[in-house]
Amino acid sequence: MNVMVGGTFDPLHAGHRVLLSRSFEIAGREGLVTIGLTSDAFVQKKSHPVRPYDIRREELIIWIESMHFEASYIIECLSDQYGSALNDDFDALVVSEETFPVAGEINRLREEMGRKRVDIYTIRCILADDGKIVSSTRIYRGEIDPDGHLIR
């Protein structure tokens, strides 16, 4: 199965690892995971600093390779919230609860363009030790570490 997933992945945290792992699981042994990694220009609107694209890409590759997933993957530069998801042929989109509305918009736009809708798999957000969502913003604020443990 051909699967798409996207994000900034900075820093790569527990929620990202679950999202990516599920993407590879859905893709299966002969599948392909296309990972849209947000461009430096696209992340300018974030409320916290974001490391450069090349650094984020390298960290992503190191983690993926360490996991020995069975599906193959490619990383493409994502310069908007849709990337190639509007035009490419693929089977499924994996999103978090937070980005589910974008997935619905992608299917709506694909349908308007005469393209087939894709399956949407939604991953529940991972909670930190304090019961709040693990997020890059919280990590950058120094509240939690990438695994969701409180920093005291």
Provide the residue type at 74 as one letter. I
CB 100 within 8 A of CB 9: no
Note whether residue 133 is domain-resident.
no
> What stretches in the chain show pLDDT beneath 50?
none
CA dihedral in degrees (68, 36, 28, 55; nearest 10)? 0
Residue 53 within a domain: yes
The string of pLDDT tens digits covering residues 37-70 is 999 999 987 777 899 999 999 999 999 999 999 9
Full strand arrangement of the beta sheet holding 32-38? 72-78, 32-38, 2-7, 92-96, 119-123
pLDDT recorded at residue 152: 79
123 within a domain of the structure (yes/no):
yes
Q: How many domains does the chain have?
A: 1
Using alpha carbons only, how large is the chain's radius of gyration in Å? Answer: 15
Nearest Cα to Cα of residue 85 among 59, 53, 107, 70: 107
The CATH code of the domain that includes 102 is 3.40.50.620
The whole domain housing 26 covers 2-127
User: What does the alpha-carbon distance between residue 8 and residue 114 come to, in Å, rounded to a whole number?
Assistant: 29
The pLDDT, as a whole number, for residue 47 is 74
Instruction: Please state the φ and ψ torsions of residue 86, each to the nearest 5 degrees.
Output: -80, -30
| 94: its two tokens | 């994996």
